[in-house]
Amino acid sequence: MTKVLVTGASGFIAKHIVRQLLEEGYQVRGSVRSDKRQSELAALFPDADLEFVKLDLTSDEGWDVALDGVDVLMHTASPFPGGEPDDPMELIGPAVEGTKRALNAAHAAGVRRVILTSSCVAIYKDPAKPPMEQSTEENWTDPDAPGVGAYEASKTLAERAAWELADQHGLRLTTINPGAVYGPAMDPNYGTSLQLVEQILDGEFPAYPNINLPAVDVRDVAHMHVAAIDNDAAVGERFAANSGAIYLLDAAAVLAKAYPDKKLKLRKAPDFMIKVAGRFDKRMAQVVGGLGRNADVDGSKAEKVFDFTYIPTEEALLASAAYVTAN
């Protein structure tokens, strides 16, 4: 029986991965960093063949034991806060060091496949690409370019480190690079992911910055991770997970139509206003980096190689909205 280690098993995406792995008969070992998260997970999968280990991205402790007897490493753990930290190293440090720890331990344990959760943010801020052109998996964000936030840099540098180690150790690596992940949560611990939908529904946007984001349903992201395990064509490849980028105002319009009682105001914020706000507000500074740039990434390679059709972006947004409004 194939045993899979899922790091950061308590995450919004990882819980869907764990569910699909268990449904397909894999033995799953999930890493967590607290007893609280471990009991929440155990409660979600009460009768499952699910083991737990404790791992922290910032510590060497436990990696060899965690990977002992494991066939496949799925490395999803990475810090994903809603805002910009004071020190970018708060995100870059754990993301990069954790990825190195995970891949080095996988190599030492003779793991046969490694699947890494990267991101479209490691792709679409490529200064070598005309800004309004759609990106492909060939593009790479420049972590040092202006307008690239700490999270975007952390994902780019972590993925770069993974490819270097895979090359060095001959690891059979695949990266899954999701856009903004929507769809249903499995429990109230859904991290940063559904916050945008919540904020729109709560009317927190007086006006919407003119930026688009690639988007994908969490169920498709989980499917891609699981389908990569036994797919030789996926080895050595990056896969953007994107059912179609959507402008923030268009996402708000989808939600406004489905929830007319919320009386959401649909206004576009002028770019100059966002640029002024970006001088004072760090989170806005990252949004400024998205103005005048197309963040869309071609996600069609994944559909071909993994033989599925994406859940449409509108449906993914509405599934998130259904969850957050019911809970």
Nearer to ligand NDP, 266 or 324 (CB): 324
Go through 193-229 and write b for each residue having 16 or more CB atoms within 10 A of its CB, e for each that does not: bbebbeebbeeebebbbbbbbbbbbbbbbbbbbbbbb
Task: Please confirm, yes or no, whether 257 is among the known catalytic residues.
Answer: no
Q: Is 174 in the site for ligand NDP (CB under 6 A)?
A: no
Q: Is 76 in the site for ligand NDP (CB under 6 A)?
A: yes
CA–CA distance, 157 with 147 (Å, rounded to integer): 16
> Partners of 114 in the beta sheet?
73, 173
Beta-strand pair 173-178/113-117? parallel
Nearer to ligand NDP, 56 or 84 (CB): 56
Nearer to ligand NDP, 10 or 313 (CB): 10
Nearer to ligand NDP, 58 or 327 (CB): 58
- Asked if 268 and 249 count as a contact pair (C-beta separation under 8 A), the reply is yes
Q: How far is the CB of 195 from ligand NDP (least distance, A)?
A: 10
Q: How far is the CB of 199 from ligand NDP (least distance, A)?
A: 14
* Three-state DSSP state, 264: coil
Question: In Å, what is the CA distance from 151 to each residue of 44, 87, 101, 147, 169?
Answer: 29, 11, 19, 12, 27
Contact window for ligand NDP (CB under 6 A) among 53-61, 123-131, 135-143, 286-294: 53-61
Site string for ligand NDP, 113-152 (x = CB under 6 A): ----x-x---------------------------------
Contact window for ligand NDP (CB under 6 A) among 124-132, 190-198, 250-258, 262-270: 190-198
Q: Is 199 in the site for ligand NDP (CB under 6 A)?
A: no
Q: How many CB atoms are located within 10 Å of the residue 257 CB?
A: 12
Question: Which is the catalytic residue, given 3, 100, 155, 262?
Answer: 155
* Three-state DSSP state, 70: coil
Q: Dihedral sign for Cα 22, 61, 168, 176, please.
A: positive
**DSSP string of 135-192?**
B-TT----TTSTT--HHHHHHHHHHHHHHHHHHHHT--EEEEEESEEES--SSS--TT
Contact window for ligand NDP (CB under 6 A) among 3-11, 128-136, 231-239, 263-271: 3-11
Which residue is closest to ligand NDP by CB?
Answer: 11
Q: Is 11 in the site for ligand NDP (CB under 6 A)?
A: yes
| Catalytic machinery residues | 155
Give the binding site for ligand NDP (CB under 6 A). Answer: 8, 10-14, 33-34, 37, 55-58, 76-80, 94, 117, 119, 155, 178, 180-181, 191-193
